[in-house]
């Protein structure tokens, strides 16, 4: 039987789309619940932005400690060299989903 992997985007697209102002602790708690539910991957934020750095690093540290495991934590980045380089500054981030704009607008 094929295995289905669920990628949750609540902490990135869900928060952005609904214009929710979740605190970083609330987003971390969502990651804990997603992990407990067996979700394969959480697209947990924007690792290239300064205001997300502490949250991103703290969640990656929790993953290293086994608190957020086996869930895969992935960032989201536009397909721009500078943002991608910024996303990997911590050295701990292993997964980034890239977005390439196709609209001419």
70: cis peptide before it, omega within 30°? Answer: yes
CA-nearest of 1, 6, 4, 85 to 43 is 6
pLDDT at 59: 97
pLDDT tens-digit map of 1-31? 999 999 999 998 887 777 778 899 999 999 9
pLDDT tens-digit map of 47-97? 999 989 999 999 999 999 999 999 999 999 999 999 999 999 878 999 999
Q: Where are the domains of the chain?
A: 34-98
pTM: 0.86
């Amino acid at each position: 039987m094929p295995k289905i992997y669920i990628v949750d985007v609540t902490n990135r697209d869900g928060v952005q789309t609904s214009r929710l102002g979740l605190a970083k602790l609330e987003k971390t708690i969502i990651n804990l619940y997603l992990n407990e539910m067996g979700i394969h991957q959480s697209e947990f934020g924007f690792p290239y932005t300064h205001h997300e750095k502490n949250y991103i690093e703290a969640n990656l540290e929790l993953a290293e400690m086994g608190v957020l495991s086996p869930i895969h934590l992935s960032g989201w980045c536009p397909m721009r060299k500078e943002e991608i380089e910024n996303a990997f500054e911590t050295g701990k981030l292993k997964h980034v989903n890239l977005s390439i704009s196709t609209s001419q607008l």
